[in-house]
Amino acid sequence: MARLPGRNTVELVIGTVKLIATTIAGGNNDRRIAKYSAIGVNGAELEDLGQDENQDAYTANVSESVYLQLKTIKEAGKAVTIVHPLFGTYQGRLVSCKYAGTTRSGLDISLVILEDGAAANSTLKTTPANLPAWDGKAKAAWSDASDSLTSLAVLPDMPDDILAGIDGLVGSWNAFSDVVSLVQAGAAAAGEIAYAFSSLSTSVTGMMNLVDNAWGVVEGISDVALEDTLFPLVMPAGTWLTRWVHR
């Protein structure tokens, strides 16, 4: 399986299609401001005409079948439920779905989604009752990830930066696990686990970037199913942490 650097670790959902976005861009929903000025008068009278629709752009690497599902959604021209990896759930229309083939597996695609209707305020759910179900999944995922990291560490001629990345990832997981225990006991705030999750996610992405750079250079690295175990490690936590009501 090809290694993809810079992957986001929380799912993007478009209707019934789920995928992992490699990049996300947006925020270009400017306010429409009308200016009324007169000759010889400094400045202008301004009138707010409302805000443009939210527009989000994504890239991802997907299989041919996933691309065809997205293409069908675009061609249908209907609003579907979108779950943005950062800003939650909204109704949107897939207006652009382009692909490019690469030497790696799958297709590199670029997507543009317009929000349908008025934007709602973001609301982050931080219900402690959701934590136990996540905790078991994450601990099981960590067991699998630990096996992959051990297999990686014992490969011959492993670069020092990858070994350091392994140590950093282990430290991030331990810190995150400690904060989860505190949250479950009511002794830590949601902001603390959000910070710990951010550190863990950064460590995972950094680890994958390091491995991607060594792909094809270090013998045996292609046999370690690292991305198959690291992404499932953080996705249960990210899903819990970033489950919103409306955007």
* Per-range mean pLDDT, top range of 100-104, 146-150, 195-199: 146-150
CA proximity to 206, closest of 172, 165, 149, 234: 165
Determine which of 3-12, 204-213, 228-237 has the lowest per-residue pLDDT on average.
3-12
194: domain CATH number is 1.20.120
Look up the pTM and report it.
0.46
Does residue 152 share a domain with residue 81?
A: no
Tell me the backbone φ, ψ of residue 157, rounded to 5 degrees: 60, 35
CA proximity to 116, closest of 93, 140, 149: 93
- Residue 22 is encoded by which pair of tokens? 């490699």
Run of H or E including 213: helix 190-214
Does residue 94 share a domain with residue 136?
A: no
Number of independent structural domains in the chain: 2
Does residue 164 share a domain with residue 237?
A: yes
- Dihedral angle at the C-alpha atoms of 224, 23, 91, 16, nearest 10 degrees? -20
Does residue 109 share a domain with residue 17?
A: yes
Determine which of 5-9, 54-58, 69-73, 242-246 has the lowest per-residue pLDDT on average.
242-246
